[in-house]
Structure 1
């Protein structure tokens, strides 16, 4: 059940202070991410554009990849980079997939629309390196960004749209209009027009692409609502959608399933391809 009497929108979207041990993140990810880069066959800092942050890391399995799995990080479009998340490639790599994890420019240096375009460029470049089907995943703001890739106005080319099989949005933000009521909007610089123009929940899904929205049962109510929202709307537009609430998970550990090849999250992420 959702309460619709939100008085403090900053608190509604604040994770760190509302999770026991939440302030330990993102520092807790630095060591496992670095260790995974050292232990895995990787091509780091591959350029997809001319900017300093226009880089992705590509993690490769043994033998020929079964396809390309992309993870797009969060940070409310204003923080972090690819280096914190390398270990999240472990599950897909163990299942024989190549994994690309890009960085992108951050607000306010670039608009959210600009970030969407950059993520599309990163995916296109990595997909030029790796053949086969394409599966996208992203966390929080990254969930928004990968959802944007399967909207009717996706920056992906027709060729890449044909390769795209599944989008997994983890704790994704699919309607940007609530951000207008938060202090973060000083950095995001959204107005109602740009919030509406960049909200997947207000757009049409690409045909033939599956969507799964995944959230921790212990997350903030707004993340639970945002997770339920997009599959509900897009199901009504003919898309194959699913919404999963994983018990005993919060905003920062809900992504841990990507590290484990046999986890429910990892099986669900690749099922639309591997079960064909």
Structure 2
């Protein structure tokens, strides 16, 4: 008989990676340096202070790649992640990094709705969107891929989002309900399931990549494999992969490297 899963241990990434405070501090430093060299255009999509998109333009051609940050829907902001535009910018692709309000001030459903507002705002660029995201941002990327865009706003095309690339994402929120993470999220079983794209109708077209750091917990592997399998069985083009040697915090580092396999894959998705 299998022992019960200790979800608190499985999802406590900061405890699993003791050097995480230093890694997060390095994000802030690298992001500030990148903004000094590549000042973003600020796009407001709502009235709140966090309802801002940092837009790092490329050469003006092709799709825009969106990166949605993580933090379990309750931490961090876009100022930590500017440098992650670097890998794609070096190849001429534009990158948008949206902010959002945090729990417990808002709900996870509110954040999903804000990301849909972001997508609607970016639709005015008249370019397809590839949505990437890390951790909670991977969850939001999957949500946007599965959104019925004409149903959300009749003016939007069904193929507004052409692909999603989720890095160490969360697609089934039920395991979080009994953990300390939920102190800010205030999810119950019903609201957790409703906000879990794993249980939504799979997108009819497009594609989903779900990749996981090699050193992540078993639950993170399960989460990505489950959505790849379930949406793949429904007919969606899906791909599972691992990021060699990476933990939860270093998994996003390849985005800043123009020569990384992650950047090459995002360029491939953007070229379809």
Shorter-chain TM range is over 0.9
SS of residue paired to 1:49: coil
5+ residue gaps, structure 1, are none
Cα 1:49–1:152 change in 2 (3 A) is closer
What is the deviation of 1:157? 4.2
* Paired position in structure 2 for 1:208: 205
Is the 1:70–1:101 Cα contact (8 Å) retained in structure 2?
Answer: yes
What is the deviation of 1:127? 2.7
With normalisation by structure 2, the TM-score equals 0.93
Runs of 4+ in 1 over 6 A off after TM superposition: none
Cα 1:78–1:4 change in 2 (3 A) is farther
Q: Distance in 2 between matches of 1:29 and 1:152?
A: 30
* Paired position in structure 2 for 1:19: 17
Cα 1:258–1:204 change in 2 (3 A) is same
**Stretch deviating more after TM superposition (160-169 or 138-147):** 160-169
Residue among 145, 159, 163 paired with 1:162: 159
Is the 1:180–1:190 Cα contact (8 Å) retained in structure 2?
Answer: yes
Cα 1:242–1:156 change in 2 (3 A) is farther
What is the deviation of 1:20? 4.8
What is the deviation of 1:7? 4.5
* Paired position in structure 2 for 1:31: 29
Cα 1:256–1:233 change in 2 (3 A) is same
Residue among 131, 135, 139 paired with 1:140: 135
Cα 1:234–1:191 change in 2 (3 A) is same
Cα 1:238–1:40 change in 2 (3 A) is same
Q: Distance in 1 between matches of 2:173 and 2:92?
A: 35
Cα 1:153–1:181 change in 2 (3 A) is farther
What is the deviation of 1:256? 1.1
What pairs with 1:109-148 in structure 2 (closer than 5 Å)? Answer: 109-128=105-124, 130-148=125-143
* Paired position in structure 2 for 1:231: 228
What is the RMSD of the two structures over their aligned residues, measured on CA atoms?
Answer: 1.8
What is the deviation of 1:15? 1.2
Q: Distance in 2 between matches of 1:179 and 1:118?
A: 22
Is the 1:72–1:138 Cα contact (8 Å) retained in structure 2?
Answer: yes
What is the deviation of 1:270? 2.6
SS of residue paired to 1:161: coil
What pairs with 1:61-210 in structure 2 (closer than 5 Å)? Answer: 61=58, 63-128=59-124, 130-153=125-148, 157=153, 159-210=156-207
SS of residue paired to 2:76: coil
5+ residue gaps, structure 2, are none
Q: Distance in 2 between matches of 1:209 and 1:97?
A: 19
What is the deviation of 1:210? 0.5
With normalisation by structure 1, the TM-score equals 0.92
Cα 1:211–1:116 change in 2 (3 A) is same
